[in-house]
Amino acid sequence: MTQIIDRRLNGKNKSAVNRQRFIQRFKKQIKEAVANAISKRSITDINKGEKVNIPKNDISEPVFKHGPGGKKQLVFPGNKQFMPGDHLKRPINPQGETGDGASNQGEGVDDFAFELTKEEFLNLFFEDLELPDLVKTQLQEMPVYKYVRGGYSTVGTPPNINIVRSFKNAISRRISFTHSDKERLKEAEAELATLLNTTPQSDPVVIALMNEIKAIKAKIALVPFIDDFDVRYNSKLKQPKPSARAVMFCIMDVSGSMDETKKEIAKKFFILLYLFLTKTYEQIDLVFIRHHTTAKEVSEEDFFYSRETGGTVVSSALDLMKNIIKDRYPSDEWNLYGAQASDGDNWNADSPLCEEILAAGIMPYMQYFAYVEIMPRHHQSLWRAYLEVKEIYPQFAMRNINNAKEIYPIFHDLFKRKNP
């Protein structure tokens, strides 16, 4: 029985290639649909795939047709109605096209529906984003390796020869190969010395003993001082090395002035940030801080779902962030990033303190800090205080979000890749 095995690439998933071609071809339309989907999603659905619709006009293919006019002589078998020379009525649709709009005849064409997987959705969404201003060290997306000493090897390059180990091997080899011969040589030389005291050199026994000594010395001399298999090279092993480290501080205002709508917008913004960081970068720490009158470092679960609330003292969160940096994330070893979401409502006497903490205790060590104010009305004292910080530090960014539809454009603007 003949059996055919398809060993071509993608042999069992040939449609995957066509799928990627389709995504590349209609990337612009798909990315627009992805951006629109983000603003409509709930927090629990933001990490899922998406069904997108592509307008029919965007997927239409060019078609070659015969133009109107010309003379044709066609009589089909079985024709009982027409004869050569008969005049035919003009068709209602001379182009031979079917209508796409609403009518009482013909057929229409729906928009093309395309289902994106979770991975495809996130890849398209975060494709042209990055952490800005990685100037201290390069944050690696791929593992970094370092070479460490791993003993000795019999193969290598001349610069890696270990001279001491090679000579030790040579000495050990010569000792093991010549030990018995040298012992016999000592015995033969002792016997010869004893015989020469009583026996002339012409004696056959003396001559035989002298020949034996000569043969033993020749045999020992044949053992080379150093041989190829004595040589040893320093061996190096490749081990994973932690890549440059980065930490992102996520600060969210959960005071009483932050109603459910504002909190929902803030949570969506931070979820986008969380997905972006964890998907794009391997080596990164996330620190979640919630604050009202007091600030607290919390877990991921508490950050997004805890219902604790209270008054508003923004400086408590900034002061906590400064202390965490001092205790756990020295700026000479870590790339420091921050993102803060608030409605801007703050105790007036506290805003100057926020400016002081940011300007003197945080921003000198930060690679980038993004402040998002969720405020559809006029800005308050916190925004004005942060404007003073922005004048001093160009890596401090400020944006305003009015509604859920602006989350993606603002997020994209804050973290867009400078050199795509």
Token pair, residue 237, equals: 């092993």
* DSSP-assigned beta bridge partners for residue 416: 129
Q: What is the pLDDT of residues 108-137, one digit of tens each?
A: 555 667 677 767 766 666 665 666 554 444
Token pair, residue 77, equals: 């078998």
CB-based burial label for 356 (10 Å; 0-12, 13-18, 19+): middle
Q: What is the pLDDT of residues 295-312, one digit of tens each?
A: 999 988 888 888 777 788
pLDDT at 276: 78
Residue 105 has pLDDT above 80, yes or no: no
> How crowded is the C-beta side of 52, counted as CA atoms within 13 Å?
25
| H-only helix segments in 200-257 | 204-221
| Percent of the chain's residues with pLDDT above 90 | 13
Q: Where are the beta strands (DSSP E) in 230-308?
A: 233-241, 245-253, 284-291, 295-298
Alpha-carbon distances, residue 203 vs 187, 196, 212, 215, 330 (angstroms): 19, 10, 14, 19, 90
Q: Do 9 and 106 meet the contact criterion of CB atoms below 8 Å apart?
A: no
Q: Average the pLDDT over each of 5-19, 29-43, 78-92, 290-304 and give the range with the smallest value.
A: 5-19
Measure the CA–CA gap between 45 and 37, rounded to whole angstroms: 10
The answer to whether the predicted template modeling score (pTM) of the entire model surpasses 0.75 is no
Measure the CA–CA gap between 294 and 312, rounded to whole angstroms: 8
Q: Do 357 and 391 meet the contact criterion of CB atoms below 8 Å apart?
A: no
Inter-helix orientation angle 163-198/204-221, to 10°: 170
Token pair, residue 7, equals: 């060993």
Comparing 413 with 72, the larger pLDDT belongs to: 413
Report residue 265's pLDDT band, with 50, 70 and 90 as the boundaries: confident
Q: Closest by alpha carbon to 312, among 335, 342, 286?
A: 342
24-33 burial, b for 16+ CB within 10 Å, e for fewer?
eebeebbbeb
pLDDT at 96: 46
Q: Do 195 and 206 meet the contact criterion of CB atoms below 8 Å apart?
A: yes
pLDDT at 340: 92
Q: Three-class SS of residue 152?
A: strand
Cβ-based neighbours of 157, under 8 Å, separated by 6 or more = 233
Report residue 181's pLDDT band, with 50, 70 and 90 as the boundaries: confident
Extents of the domains making up the chain:
13-60+110-125, 158-235, 245-415
Helix (H) or strand (E) run with residue 145 in it: strand 144-153
Measure the CA–CA gap between 35 and 212, rounded to whole angstroms: 96
Q: Closest by alpha carbon to 305, among 238, 260, 340, 257?
A: 260
Residue 14 has pLDDT above 60, yes or no: no
Alpha-carbon distances, residue 32 vs 26, 41, 67, 100 (angstroms): 10, 15, 37, 24
CB-based burial label for 59 (10 Å; 0-12, 13-18, 19+): middle
Token pair, residue 157, equals: 């390059």
Provide φ and ψ at 342, rounded to 5°: -155, 165
* DSSP-assigned beta bridge partners for residue 239: 146
Alpha-carbon distances, residue 115 vs 18, 51, 109, 366 (angstroms): 14, 4, 18, 40
Per CATH, which fold does 245-415 belong to? Rossmann fold (3.40.50)
Report residue 285's pLDDT band, with 50, 70 and 90 as the boundaries: confident
Provide φ and ψ at 418, rounded to 5°: -75, -35
Residue 139 has pLDDT above 50, yes or no: no
Task: Provide Rg for the chain, Cα atoms.
Answer: 41
Report residue 92's pLDDT band, with 50, 70 and 90 as the boundaries: low
Helix (H) or strand (E) run with residue 28 in it: helix 27-40
Report residue 396's pLDDT band, with 50, 70 and 90 as the boundaries: very high
Q: What is the pLDDT of residues 314-344, one digit of tens each?
A: 999 999 999 999 998 888 878 888 999 998 8
